């Protein structure tokens, strides 16, 4: 286990390699770092000296190791990112040989991205992509991806019990407004695909309707990593056994969270809020399950081969093909809380309706 990566280390590595970045201030001196390379969000950080709440690649700890990482073209740098789905269409050449043909298109990541300031307290990252489609349809797809980043307020602030809930708890929040557009209409479908890399040790909490349907993408998930509760699904992020599951949009509500223990007896809660639209196609399909669609949430757990992290993934609405639209604008908010475990659990119950 390596030492955690601090904001100072990330900033130093970016500066050493002349990689542009921006600091987005949040509440109570917290902030995130937005990197032009790969369009990543690192953090949240509570102070300039504190470590990242998200999982970050250990290459940031050493200047030479980080330069080697950049030269390799590896995508696995950590933080939060936006890719283009469906994975089986854009990242897998042959769905019958998933692991033998999966690759990350350089156009997608790191891609050529442009970071710019948009007024006070708002940053934008823009990217043009030309991607090959392999499975659901064939040909090339030209897309435009724009992301705006800005601070957001605590969703609990208007409750009568807010003062009690937030006592001795730190809150920080930001939002991405994600616009995805196609340049011409055809049968190729696309979706924005937001992924947060998680430090292991906690549980993802997904409120659902009773008896939620989910799809295994690899080997079936075991009962040590998945528990179905009356309120929904609890998934353990261990970083030691690989799984990926997708959850049907019709049985979820657009809000999920990651609860994890922190230092000095504290706990963290990362809450993702997004527009979950069961009427949208959500075109992703497991490689071995043709026509099995409709999932807006995916959770991934690494087995250690890539660094031992988890991923909290949500999809934007579909454009192209059967969707009947050529552009979509989706908002994905992140609300972060840090405090005593009992207080964080109570906040989770207000936002998710879930006991922990």
pLDDT 10s digits, 301-335 = 999 999 999 999 999 999 999 999 999 999 999 99
Q: What is the pTM of this model?
A: 0.96
**Phi-psi category of 116—alpha, beta or left, where left has phi over 0 and alpha has psi -120 to 50?**
beta
Residue 3 has pLDDT above 80, yes or no: no
CA 233 to chain centre: 18
- pLDDT-derived band at 110 (thresholds 50, 70, 90) equals very high
What percent of the chain stands above pLDDT 70?
99
**Mean pLDDT, rounded, for 226-249:** 97
3-state secondary structure of 300: strand
Peptide bond into 163 cis (omega under 30): no
Whole-number Cα distances in Å, 6 to 183, 239, 242: 40, 21, 27
The structural domains of the chain, ordered by start, are 7-352 (2.70.98)
Across 242-257, average pLDDT: 98
Strand pairing of 113-117 and 122-133? antiparallel
pLDDT at 2: 58
- pLDDT for position 4: 85
> CB of 175 within 8 A of CB of 154?
no
Beta bridge partners of 181: 144, 327
Sheet holding 40-45, edge to edge: 21-25, 31-35, 40-45, 80-85, 191-198, 310-315, 295-301, 243-248, 214-216
pLDDT of res. 148? 98
- Is the separation of the CB atoms in 152 and 24 below 8 Å? no
Q: How far apart are CA 103 and CA 105, in angstroms?
A: 6
Please report the pLDDT score of residue 1 as a whole number: 45
In the DSSP assignment, the letter for residue 1 is -
Q: Using one digit for the tens of pLDDT, what is the confidence trace for 159-191?
A: 999 999 999 999 999 999 999 999 999 999 999
């Amino acid at each position: 286990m390596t030492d955690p990566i601090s904001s100072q280390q990330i900033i130093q590595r970016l500066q050493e390699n002349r990689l542009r970045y921006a600091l987005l201030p949040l509440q109570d001196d917290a902030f995130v770092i937005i990197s032009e390379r790969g369009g990543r969000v690192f953090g949240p950080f509570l102070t300039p000296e504190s470590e990242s709440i998200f999982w970050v690649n250990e290459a940031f700890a050493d200047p030479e190791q980080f330069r080697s990482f950049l030269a390799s073209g590896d995508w696995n740098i950590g933080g939060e990112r936006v890719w283009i789905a469906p994975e089986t269409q854009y990242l897998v050449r042959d769905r019958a040989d998933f692991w033998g043909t999966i690759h990350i298109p350089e156009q997608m990541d790191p891609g050529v991205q442009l970071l710019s300031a948009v007024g006070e307290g708002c940053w934008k990252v823009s990217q043009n992509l030309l991607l090959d489609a392999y499975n659901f349809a064939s040909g090339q797809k030209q897309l435009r991806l724009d992301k705006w980043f800005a601070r957001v307020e605590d969703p609990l602030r208007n409750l009568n019990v807010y003062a009690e809930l937030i006592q001795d708890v730190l809150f920080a929040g930001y939002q991405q407004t994600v616009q995805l557009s196609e340049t011409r209409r055809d049968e190729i479908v696309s979706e924005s695909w937001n992924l947060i890399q998680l430090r292991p040790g906690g549980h993802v909490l997904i409120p659902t309707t009773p008896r939620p349907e989910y799809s295994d993408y690899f080997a079936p998930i075991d009962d040590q990593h998945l528990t179905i509760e009356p309120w929904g699904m609890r998934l353990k992020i261990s970083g030691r056994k690989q799984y990926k599951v997708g959850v049907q949009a019709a049985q979820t509500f657009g809000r999920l969270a990651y609860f994890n223990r922190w230092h000095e007896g504290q706990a963290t809660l990362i809450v993702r809020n997004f527009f979950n639209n069961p009427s949208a196609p959500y075109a992703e399909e497991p490689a071995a399950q043709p026509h099995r669609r409709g999932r807006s949430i995916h959770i991934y757990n690494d087995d250690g081969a890539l660094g031992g992290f988890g991923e909290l993934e949500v999809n934007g609405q579909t454009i192209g093909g059967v969707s009947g639209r050529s552009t979509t604008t989706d908002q994905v908010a992140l609300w972060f809380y840090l405090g005593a475990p009992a207080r964080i659990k109570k906040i989770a119950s207000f936002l998710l309706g879930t006991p922990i």
